[in-house]
Amino acid sequence: MIKRIPVLVLMASALVYASCRKEGFLAATSTTNLTEQTIFADSSRTVGFLANIYSNTGLSASLSRFSYNFVVCGGLEAACDEAEPSHAFSTPATQFATGTVNAGIIGEEPYKTCYSNIRAVNVLIKNLPNAPLKPAYKTQMVAEARFLRAWYYAMLVQHYGGVPLVGDTLLTYDKPIQAKRNTYAECVDYILSECDAAAAILPATQMGLNYGRASKGACLALKARVLLYAASPLFNGTTLPADAGPGGGVAVDPALVGYPTFDMNRWKLAKDAAQAVIALGVYSLNTKNNYQTSLPGYGFQGLFPLRVNTEYIFELMRPTGNSDLENICLPPSRGSNGTGSFPYQGLVDAFPMRNGKPITDPTSGYNPADPYKDRDPRLEYSIIRDQTVLLVRTSNGQTNGSAPVNIFVGNYNGILTGQDAVHQGTITGYYNNKMLDPAAIAATLSFASNRVMPLIRYAEVLLNYAEAANEYEGPTGNVYAAVEAVRQRAGLDPYQLPTGLTQAEMRSRIQNERRVELAYEGHRFWDVRRWKIAPQTENIQSMGMEVNRNGGAVTYKPFNVTKHNFRPAMYLWPFPLSETGKSPELVQNPGY
């Protein structure tokens, strides 16, 4: 009997208490083993139990998601055409990038993590009536918990398609557990129902000490994202079983991995859901910048260091004074440990010129002999390239002015190739700059950022709306307005799109806008799959850039990095063998 109990029970059975600190409800926590009765007899422990369920909400998009023997190798950006992992260890990042992933080697997360937290939600809901808390507060806690349950199910569906739905049931050791998959449609409907129920109770936004907790806006935004995925080509009239073949010798019911038949109305549902978030009128694109208020696109650059802002709809709260992104992403000369992922040339090339034209447009003004001149301001804020100017940190952790990062090869004005150089500090010739705090860059030893990590932000909602509306009714004025709002904040001049775009042309524009606006935020890996363009974007030879400097002469030389491979099975993740082995009724995904 125990042999057949899925990991979702084995790992979730331990109760964990998270203590709250001065920063508020979702502050840094400490844990200790307590009994269920002890936790829910105490109000602070009950609140701490809910806070702990929030702690893994950023699992999917984490830039340090994948590691080997405690060495960070990158996140989902390193599993697709965005970036190269820092190490060639076998992790899901390298397995997906090289096409070697299979059910025998894939890790147990997110299956284990999501079901552990879903079970924790059910424990909370079961015990909350007896907790010594005011009824109104209990009502809000239940609503938050139901949102979190929807969040973790959405993460599961994103990875696997249809998964087992357990409802409010608390699975135990005293009876056999069936892990039969629900259909994709049943999972989507369940997530939507949980979002609707929570949204009816929660405030539009959370402020003060409650900032970071689930809100009505978060419920509606998650609903919009789930519906956008459901309307997308991968799931809306899926052909995945036929594309990928049967898995494990068992024919896969198409209903497990998507909707067997296409329905145009699903795009309308996604459009309306995104519009509902916009209609709340409480979110806007950030235009604040505490470090630079004059350069184009300053609102984009200034967003990510802000702990509280008008753009984040749902965020992973972090302790005040965090510098983990700087520690893994910066060049070695700025104190990095070199475990972040390194952007590919393909991502750099995706950023248009500042005039909004793609660099492939002959009229754009792009010059391959001076490739970073007059580019989309987001490029500078997202990618560290040769001669990017960053603050300098001395040995005592203090700031000592600014200096360029020397990634070049050769001798430039008496400066020789150094520790930051291509093939030495970086595999691709670039470092990640997205979401880094300009102040923390120079002083990760003595100063750190107060940032939190964006899980849903308003720019995504605008692009979700634009995509769904364009697919349902074509490139209307509202579609133009949503995309152009993002481009205007980015500092493009002119920010307006060409008039008279066809639906296909607008689709291409929206897809690229998502690529550059949401880079390194965990979207690209999923986007190319749900659009079913992964065979084109993932079967590639990834490229880097070598900058050669000889005195005043500068040349740019692209070079091969890693050959990527994509198989149709890789549209979805395989269930780990540790789970299908215990539960034969857990049908494996196609192709595995």
Q: How far apart are CA 138 and CA 141, in angstroms?
A: 5
The answer for 33, left when phi > 0, alpha when psi is -120 to 50, beta otherwise, is beta
Residue type for position 304: F
- φ/ψ bin of 24: left (φ > 0), alpha (ψ from -120 to 50), beta (otherwise): left
Residue 437, sorted as left (phi over 0), alpha (psi -120 to 50) or beta, turns out to be beta
Rounded to 5 degrees, what are φ and ψ at 544?
-125, -175
Strand positions, DSSP E, 270-317: 312-316
For the entire predicted model, the pTM comes to 0.94
DSSP labels, 449-503 = B---EEEEEHHHHHHHHHHHHHHHH-S-HHHHHHHHHHHHHHT-SS-PPPTT--H
Residues 6+ apart with CB under 8 A from 167: none
Task: Note the helical H segments in 161-239.
Answer: 184-199, 216-231
Nearest Cα neighbor of 516 from 533, 547, 494, 491 is 491
CA-closest candidate to residue 337, choices 350, 327, 326: 327
> Can you give the pLDDT of all 592 residues of the chain as single tens digits?
223 333 333 333 334 433 333 345 454 344 456 788 999 999 999 999 999 999 999 999 999 999 998 899 999 999 999 999 999 999 999 999 999 999 999 999 999 999 999 999 999 999 999 999 999 999 999 999 999 999 999 999 999 999 999 999 887 766 666 799 999 999 999 999 999 999 999 999 999 999 999 999 999 999 999 999 999 999 999 999 998 876 555 689 999 999 999 999 999 999 999 999 999 999 999 999 988 788 999 999 999 999 999 999 999 999 988 889 999 999 999 888 889 999 999 999 999 999 999 999 999 999 999 999 999 999 999 999 999 999 887 666 566 788 999 999 999 888 888 999 999 999 999 999 999 998 766 544 556 889 999 999 999 999 999 999 999 999 999 999 999 999 999 999 999 999 999 999 999 999 999 999 999 999 999 999 999 999 999 999 999 999 999 988 999 999 999 999 999 999 999 999 999 998 889 999 999 9
> Which CATH fold would you assign to the domain 2-260+574-580?
1.25.40
Beta strand residue intervals within 506-590, DSSP E = 541-550, 553-563
The one-letter code for the residue type at 77 is E
Phi, psi angle pair for 426, to nearest 5°? -130, 140
